A = this chain, B = another copy of it.
Amino acid sequence: MLSMGAEPRRASEWTIHGERIIDDSRRTVLSVADVELPDGVRFEQYVLRVPAAAMVVVLDDRDRVLMMWRHRFIIDRWVWELPGGYLDPGEEPAACAAREVEEETGWRPGPMTRLLAFQPMVGTIDQPNVVYLARGAERTGLAPDVNEAERIGWIPLGEVQQHILNGEIVGAGSVAGLLAVLLARTAGQL
């Protein structure tokens, strides 16, 4: 692994004796890392390496956000989520973000700016995520992907925080992206 920063090796850094790939399939590399902690404890743990993803807060001129009402089988719940998805090989995050919005919702987003980046679960998974803000959108005439959403909705920005508190918005990217937009709006930067 390449070091990304100038930071020299420190006392708290874990020693990774190896990482054994178990499965390298379409969208996931699953491996087991052989980890040794600074205090000498040694164990194996799963590591998931997944393609980067991008998603978009599409905001219209009435301060409503484009969202998808969908079922997530792993948690067996219906939730509101921002549109977005995995980058195709070689694809730029912003291009992916715009493409996914259009495929999933039937709306083509307007000009986009980058809101933030995050990692969903930094101790187990490597999946760079970028969240964009788009101003406005136009209908393409295409039907939304039936595999993704039960329905598409424009949710008033003023209701978003309540949905987060209610547990109707739970995805990390949706929560973080919407809080970033609410913060910008409240700070008078939008």
* A153 CB-CB contact with B under 8 Å: no
Residue pair A122, B75 in contact (C-beta under 8 Å):
yes
User: How many copies of this chain?
Assistant: 2
Interface-forming stretch among A58-66, A87-95, A133-141, A165-173?
A165-173
Docked pose: A73 CA to B82 CA in angstroms: 29
What number of A residues sit within 8 Å (CB to CB) of B? 69
| 8 A Cβ contacts from A31-80 to B | 33, 35, 37-39, 41, 45-50, 70-79
Question: Are A172 and B119 in contact, CB atoms less than 8 angstroms apart?
Answer: yes
From known contacts A147-B38, A183-B183, infer whether A119 and B5 are also in contact, taking CB-CB under 8 Å: no
**Interchain CB contact under 8 A, B149 and A116:** no
Q: Let me know if A156 is at the binding interface, CB within 8 A.
A: no
In whole angstroms, what is the CA distance A121 to B50 when docked?
A: 11
- Closest Cβ neighbor of A144 among chain B residues: B12
Known: A41-B147, A120-B120. 6 other contacts (CB 8 A): A3-B76, A7-B78, A30-B46, A74-B126, A75-B119, A119-B172
